[in-house]
Amino acid sequence: MSDPRKIRLIMHLRQTGITDTNVLSAIERVPRDHFIPPAFHDRAWEDEALPIGLGQTISQPFIVSYMTQNLELHDRQRVLEIGTGSGYQAAILSKLCRRVYTIERHRPLLHVAEQNFSDLKIRNVTAICGDGMKGWAEQAPFDRIISTAAASDEPPPALLEQLSIGGILIIPVGGQGQAQILRRYQRESEEVYSKRDLIPVRFVPLLPDVPRGNSYSDIDLQELRA
């Protein structure tokens, strides 16, 4: 890890409470600059969210690290991600679990993410375009679920139903105009879920369906990809 910007970021994350060495190692190993537009490469290792097109952002490294740490991952788990974006969070997860399933509602961003996975030889991520609120029933149950978009008040029922017993869901909650909070749910039994509020956050809303007319022409892929 010779890049001083990367060293500074890892030190900053430790100071802000990221103590899981496996998570820090994943942040170190995944090249964040590969997942953002070239115009922002000079800010790739700063602790800030950056735009990736179509009104979406790549979350700041602290939020990525914090959410990942609270998933309590190990290398035999199957994880569902809602909101692929350009693929950065999924790439981090791929270093920490057996397989990642990820859903993106914007086809152009999914195309970019899949190319990023291919470029970096990430083989344990499967991505589809779809409605994240419905989860991925064909691949359920999941040991862990993470959403990078905010539900209005409670998680979509499908996501809770697709958790395995003992499974953990990390999701922002808070409707339009409301303060958002990152919340951790754990499935204790078939019918019982515990929940715990974590930290205030700000995410784009979790929306249903796939946007009509959502095609590659809606975004300049060359401008987005390095």
Active site (catalytic) residues: 59
CA distance 157 to 53: 29
H or E stretch at 168: strand 163-173
CA distance 35 to 31: 8
User: From the CB of residue 117, how many other CB atoms can be counted at a distance below 10 Å?
Assistant: 22
Q: Which of 69, 77, 59 is nearest to 23 (CA)?
A: 69
User: DSSP class of residue 53?
Assistant: E
CA distance 91 to 210: 23
Label residues 140-164 b or e (16+ Cβ within 10 Å = b).
Answer: bbbbbbbbbbbbeeebbeebbebbe
CB 54, CB 106: distance < 8 Å: yes
CA distance 159 to 155: 7
CA distance 155 to 133: 8
